[in-house]
Structure formats: C-alpha cells, structure tokens
Amino acid sequence: MNLDLAGLAFDTGGRLLIQKVLAGLPPGSTVTVTGRDPFLTLHLRAWCRSAGHGTTAQDDGAVEVVKGRPDADRWAHAERAGEPGAVARRPPGHWGLAARGALLETGGPEPAYELADRDIVWADLAPRLYAHAAAAQWDPATAVPWDAPFTLPADIEAAIVQIMTYLVENEQAALVIPARLLTRIHPHFREVLGLLAVQAADEARHVDVFTRRALHTGGRMGSSSAGGRASLASLLAEPDFTLASFLLSVLGEGTFVHLLTFLERHAPDPVTRAVTRLARADEARHVAFGVAHLEHQSASDPTMLGRLRGAIERRHDMLIDTAGLNQDVFDALLLLAAGSWTPPALHRGHLAVRQLQADMDTGRRRHLSRLGFPDDEAAELSALHTRNFM
Amino acid sequence: MTAFTMGAVAYDPKVVTIWNGFRSWFVASGLPFDYVLYSNYERQVEDLIAGRIDAAWNSPLAWVRARRLAEAQGLTIRALTMRDTDRDLATAIVTRADSDIASVEELRGRTVATGAVDSPQATLLPLDHLRRHGLHPGTDFTVRRFDVGVGLHGDHIGGERDAARALIAGEVDAACILDGNHLLFTKEGVLPSGSTRLLTTTGRYDHCTMTVTGSADPDRTARFGELLRSMSYADPAVRPLLDLEGLTSWEDGRTDRYRMLEAAVTAAGFYDAAGTVTAAEYQP
C-alpha cells in the first residue's frame, strides 16, 4: 500500500494519517510512505521505532513501514467492563474507574472496593432517583428571597437562629456520611455513587442556606449541645453501608422531613419558609433512596430486619446517658409555633410540638412497616429512635 | 546462591520502578536476580570489568569503554540484548527556519549547540559527523555545550532541550538533536513545527545494550538473556514496565552499529584505546 503525505509534515497531521492507515492492517503489513516535508523521514522513523513498527528507507526517499505487533498485543486479551445498560452482580476490582461497558486493556491496578456487591449497594430505583435529583437542584442565590424585607420580635428571631444552628450541625453529619460511603462503593454502580454525591451536595447547600439564615439579621449563632453532637457522632460511627443508610436516611432524614414541614408551616419570615421548604424536598428524595435500597436488600437477605433492629438498639444504648434534644432547640420550636409569649399561645405551641413528635413517630413506624417489621415491633423500635431527631 | 546481579544507572527515579518490577518477574521465573544502581556509567563499567556485577545495562558510550577495557585486559565481552528501540537512531543538525545558513559548510565560523559532554547522540556523534564534513569542533566552529546530567551519557534529555531552546532564542546558529527528541520538542512546543530547518543527519547507529563479560556464570547469563527475550508485550504483568523502559521487545545484541561511535570517541579523545577516560572537562 502507498501513502503520499504530499506537503503535510509528520508532526502537523501526518502521524494521524499514517496511524489511521496502519490501524486497518494486520501486523506484518507494509505501507510505503512518501512526502515532501524535509523532516518526514527523520520523524517517521523515530516514531515507528518507539511504536514498534519496522522501517526501511528507500533510495527514492520513500520510507517502507512494516506494521509491528505492539498494538495487537496490547489489546489481545482486552475485555468489556460489563455492558452499559446492565448492572453486574459482583463487578471485579480491576474494572475500577472504567466506564461501564468500556474496553479494558489488561493489567493496571486492582483496587479492592469494600462495597462491590449489587445486593448490598443497589436499588432499582437509583437511576430514576438520580435523574430526579439532578433535575431538582436549586440555586441558593436565586431560590431564596434573601432581599425580602421583614422584622421579627427579638425572641422569635433568637428561636430561628437556635433552630438554624441545630439544623446546620445535623446537615454536616448528613453531608459526611454519604460522602464517606461513596468512596467505598465500586464505581460500576455509578448511579448509586451519583445519588450519594448529589445527596452530599444537597446537604452542603442546606448547611449554606441555614447558616446564612441564622446570620441574616446580623446576630451570632446559637448553641450546640454535647448530647446533640453525641447523637450525631453515633451516626457517623456506623461502618456498615446498609445500617448507616438506614439510620441516616430512613430514620434520621425521615424524621427531619417532618421537622422541616413543621418549620415551613410556622416560619415567621419568607427566608425561613423558603430554606425549610427547599431542604424538605431534598430530604424526601434521600429518604426514598434509603427505603428503596433497603427494600431491594430485604428481598435477598432474610437476616436484614434483625440487623436493622440491632442497629437501632445499639444506638439507643450508646445514647441512653445523653440529654437528647438540646433544650434550647425544643424551647425554640415551641416558641416558634406559639408565635408570642401569651399563655394561650404557648399552650398552642406546646400542642403543636407534641403533634410534631407524634407525626415523626407515625412516619418512622410507616417506614419500618414497609421494610417488613410487624406493627408492634415498628412502634417499639420507633420509640427507641434518638430524641435528637436525626 | 547469590543472585545474578545487574547494574543500572539511576538517570531517573523511574529506574527503580522498572527494575524492581523486572526483579520480581525474574525471580518468579526462576532466576535469582538483583540489581544495583550507579550514579554514573563510568563506575558501572569499572565494576562490570572488575567482576563485581554480572551484567551492565549500558549506554552506547559505556559499551565502547567496556569493550576497550575488556580487550585491554584480555576479557571476553559481548552485547547480550538490546531494546527494539535501541536500533537505528539518527541525530539531526538543525538551524532556525529563517537562518541564512544554507548548507553544512556554512556552519564554519558559527556556533553549534550540543548536549552534555558525554552524550553520544547529542554531542560525540554529531560533532564527528561535522568533522567528516571537514569542520573541526573548536577550530572551524564554536561548540556551545549544555552539560546537564554529566556522567549519564546523554540519558538526561535536559541538555538537548536547552540546546533547542538556545537555537530558538537565537543564541546559537545550529543544534544537534536526536531524531525522536526533535519530534518530542515539536510536540512540547520547544521547537514549534516549521521553526527549524534540517541541515544534515548522521548515519544510523545503535543505542543501549545489555553488556556481559566472560566472568559471569554462563548458564545464568544465558538464562538472563532468554528471559529478557521472552518478555511479551501481550503480557499485562510486564507491559507497563516495557512502556516505562521504552521498548516493545528485547532483541539480540549487535555491535556493528557502534562503529561510528567508536570512531567519534577516538577522534574526540574521550577514551584512549585501553578505555581510560581522557576527555577534558569530563567529571561524572
């Protein structure tokens, strides 16, 4: 075969043309390359040497290239990393970061992913939830009416600041947990990774808007109780993917959805109303994945309910000597629902907080029942959930 | 049983990765193997001749010295293997595209940039090529040497790159650059495409070689050579190491393409006939 590069230099596109011609030929094939660029022979022979092709310079200035074996050898035992549309049961470690369905050159690293079993990490709902999550992202700068004017009584403002301070530390925990989990999962399960990444990004945005709301009127942050932080630390201590997902997404965030609903309903200003509404929609999605994931797993693992029960009990035992919900937060919720310091208003506030706690309990029991717990056991386990809500 | 021991020059940190990997592979293939690193080729060659190592992964210049030392002492010496990429290299002598120099002869009275004093490809061979054109370095033209990595026999590319930069900056009239490095420098942008003009090219010569002497155990030397030759680019265990070392297969050693370098070494007075270092301004 002959290939005339005319005036094209090897380093300005000639190489591509030669590579294209060689790519279609079996090893041992010969291509005679001609051209007018003065560096052509020098560059072509140097490149062929490094690429494993043979060359012979002919008297008329042409170079005869004999295609070598390296290209064929490099891909001789290549395999596909599964298929793009199918999720493998146990993807091998050496598929690593490659795209699902990519052609893999043999060799390379063999990372050991702790979570590489479809039955442990996967939920059939994950691709759809990821798509929904990606479409539901909001911009804190424009989604919240930061410029809307309002003035609150000092005590009500202080209650909001205290609640926001509490929310921030809870959202910090909710950010760290999925972020840590996703590094342990085989990238083959990319929709799950994507979902956890969006979840972490959601929480980062919540931390941002709750902080901005707390500082919106120029005051200082509220208090953080030791018991609240102990409760969150016990959440972070759970190494098991399924159990961590259960405690955080199903019980913790499931409870938080009710709290955010309560805050939106009683919000005394447009900024608080917006940030709690936006966060609630995100949290509901996180709960949906947690429940879907556990449903997928319980179908294949008859021991799962026992493990979930053990996780709730262990966490309860760890927290039995702690104070539970920060008293300042509890009081702030009551005052917020009351709206003023009159005795009838405070009574209304008290009833509203009691209703909130009842709603939280009902929600947890519903989720537990859905996972397969009998009603009496679901009620018992719901009662053991941390008094810190998350 | 002591391991078959090879010397290699540490011109780059990757040398450790390469030979650690090969060591594991040799041991797994049944050959007890180890390697030692040298900071320069002269000491490696001296240790090979003294029998302190069984093989030396030599530059072409180190081959020339090893051969001279061995023959002076009545030792047998041979080139066991070489990389496929060590065969048939050439060096270009280039000027700027807009230079008024139209031929090699017009380098008379001008300044030519080279690599390090001990670089076969970027100094010794191209200067001897000019000598054959009747132009004597230091007499008929000025040599501007870029001594980077002296003692590494040009394995360090820095001297050549500096020579190329000096050419583009107009500090010199021509530069001596290995064919593959000229291509690399165009890709890097050091020598933008079309910025240089080819004045002349040296003849083809060979580069590195695995050198052994008669003092090593013949069976193990043979086994070492066989194992090197058996490394396959299709084998994912060795392919990354072959890529790092810059080859796709090990070939049998050959020595006929070192003749030009032998002549250049003699003409430059780099080593004497017995392999003694006689080059001025050479301190590895």
Mean pLDDT by 10 residues, chain B (284 residues): 92 96 97 98 98 98 98 97 98 98 98 98 98 98 97 95 98 98 96 97 98 95 98 95 97 97 98 96 90
What are the φ/ψ torsions at residue B21 (nearest 5 degrees)? -65, -45
Question: What's residue B1's pLDDT?
Answer: 58
Inter-chain touch A45–B179, beta carbons under 8 Å? yes
Structure tokens at A129: 């939830």
Tell me, what amino acid is at B247? L
**Does residue A368 sit in helix, strand or coil?**
helix
Residues in B closer than 8 angstroms to A51, CB to CB, are 248
Q: Counting Cβ atoms within 10 Å, is residue B49 exposed (0-12), middle (13-18) or buried (19+)?
A: buried
Beta-strand relationship, B77-83 and A79-80 = unpaired
Across the A:B interface, residue pairs with CB atoms under 8 Å apart total 76
Which residues is B201 bridged to in the sheet? B92
Residues 6+ positions from A321 with CB-CB distance below 8 Å: none
Q: Kindly indicate the confidence band of residue A319, based on its pLDDT and cuts at 50, 70 and 90.
A: confident
Tell me, what amino acid is at B99? S
Tell me, what amino acid is at A283? E
Inter-chain touch B248–A69, beta carbons under 8 Å? yes
- ipTM exceeds 0.90: yes
Q: Counting Cβ atoms within 10 Å, is residue B276 exposed (0-12), middle (13-18) or buried (19+)?
A: exposed
**Which of these, A337, A343, A345, A336, lies nearest to A156 by C-alpha position?**
A336
Residues 6+ positions from B133 with CB-CB distance below 8 Å: B104, B105, B200
Rounded Cα gap, residues A361 and B81, in angstroms: 77
What are the φ/ψ torsions at residue A68 (nearest 5 degrees)? -90, -175
Structure tokens at A198: 């969006």
Q: For residues A364-388, b (16+ Cβ closer than 10 Å) or e, as one string? A: bbebbeebbbeeeebbebbebbbeb
Structure tokens at A205: 């945005």
Question: What's residue B171's pLDDT?
Answer: 98
Question: What's residue B101's pLDDT?
Answer: 98
Q: Kindly indicate the confidence band of residue A289, based on its pLDDT and cuts at 50, 70 and 90.
A: confident
Rounded Cα gap, residues A353 and A333, in angstroms: 7
Query: What is the average pLDDT across A208-221?
Result: 96
Question: What does B216-261 look like in DSSP terms, one character per residue?
Answer: S-HHHHHHHHHHHHH--TT-TTTHHHHHHHT-S-EEE---GGGHHH
Residue A227 has pLDDT above 90, yes or no: no
Q: Are B138 and B280 contacting, i.e. CB atoms less than 8 angstroms apart? A: no
Share above pLDDT 70 across residues of chain A, in percent, rounded to a whole number: 100
Q: For residues A249-282, b (16+ Cβ closer than 10 Å) or e, as one string? A: bbbbbbbbbbbbbbbbebbbbebbbbbbbbbbeb
What are the φ/ψ torsions at residue B99 (nearest 5 degrees)? -70, 155
Question: What does B125-193 look like in DSSP terms, one character per residue?
Answer: HHHHHHHHTT--BTTTBEEEE--SSTTSTT-STHHHHHHHHHHHTTSSSEEEEEHHHHHHHHHHTSS-T
Q: Kindly indicate the confidence band of residue A239, based on its pLDDT and cuts at 50, 70 and 90.
A: confident
Question: What's residue A382's pLDDT?
Answer: 92
Least confident among A122-126, A302-306, B237-241, B262-266: A122-126
| CATH (residue range A118-384) | 1.10.620.20
Inter-chain touch B85–A49, beta carbons under 8 Å? yes
Top residue of B85, B99, B129, B179 to mutate, by most chain A CBs within 10 Å, is B179
The helix (run of H) or strand (run of E) holding residue B37 is: strand B33-38
Residue A47 Cα, gap to closest chain B Cα (Å): 7
* pLDDT per residue as tens digits for the range A327-383: 889 999 999 999 999 999 999 999 999 999 999 999 999 999 999 999 999 999 999
CATH 1.10.620.20 residue ranges in chain A?
118-384
Structure tokens at A113: 């992913």
State chain A's mean pLDDT as an integer: 93
If one counts every other C-beta atom within 10 angstroms of the C-beta of residue A180, the result is: 15
pTM of the predicted protein model: 0.80
The domain A2-72 is classified under which CATH number: 3.30.420.40, 3.90.1150.10, 1.10.3720.10, 3.30.110.40?
A: 3.30.110.40
If one counts every other C-beta atom within 10 angstroms of the C-beta of residue B132, the result is: 14
* Residue of A50, A69, A106 with shortest CB distance to B236: A106
Share above pLDDT 90 across residues of chain A, in percent, rounded to a whole number: 79
Rounded Cα gap, residues A97 and A325, in angstroms: 42
Q: How many residues does chain B have?
A: 284
Question: What's residue A386's pLDDT?
Answer: 81
**Does residue A384 sit in helix, strand or coil?**
helix
If one counts every other C-beta atom within 10 angstroms of the C-beta of residue A149, the result is: 7
Q: How far is CA B130 from the centre of its chain?
A: 19
What are the φ/ψ torsions at residue B190 (nearest 5 degrees)? -65, -40
Nearest residue on chain B to A106, judged by CA atoms?
B236
Residue A114 has pLDDT above 80, yes or no: yes
Q: For residues B197-214, b (16+ Cβ closer than 10 Å) or e, as one string? A: bbbbbbeebbbbbbbbbe
Residues in B closer than 8 angstroms to A39, CB to CB, are 92, 182, 198
Q: How far apart are the first and last CA of chain B?
A: 34
**Does residue B198 sit in helix, strand or coil?**
strand
Which residues is B58 bridged to in the sheet? B209
Domains with residue ranges and CATH for chain B: 4-86+207-268 (3.40.190.10), 91-201 (3.40.190.10)
The helix (run of H) or strand (run of E) holding residue A206 is: helix A190-214
Question: What does A244-303 look like in DSSP terms, one character per residue?
Answer: HHIIIIIIIHHHHHHHHHHHHHH-SSHHHHHHHHHHHHHHHHHHHHHHHHHHHHHHH-TT
Q: Compute the half-sphere exposure of residue B177: CA atoms within 13 Å on the CB side of its CA.
A: 32
Residue A323 has pLDDT above 80, yes or no: no
Residue with more model confidence, A307 or B1: A307
**Does residue A314 sit in helix, strand or coil?**
helix
Q: Are A77 and A107 contacting, i.e. CB atoms less than 8 angstroms apart? A: no
Nearest residue on chain B to A43, judged by CA atoms?
B183
Residue A10 has pLDDT above 80, yes or no: yes
Query: What is the average pLDDT across A165-171?
Result: 96
Inter-chain touch B248–A9, beta carbons under 8 Å? no
Q: Are A3 and A35 contacting, i.e. CB atoms less than 8 angstroms apart? A: no
Window 69-128 of B, Cβ < 8 Å to A: 84-85, 87-90, 92
Question: What's residue A317's pLDDT?
Answer: 87
CATH 3.30.110.40 residue ranges in chain A?
2-72
* pLDDT per residue as tens digits for the range A25-68: 999 999 999 999 999 999 999 999 999 999 999 999 999 999 99
Residue A173 Cα, gap to closest chain B Cα (Å): 41
The Cα angle at residue B257 between residues B150 and B227, in degrees rounded to 5: 85
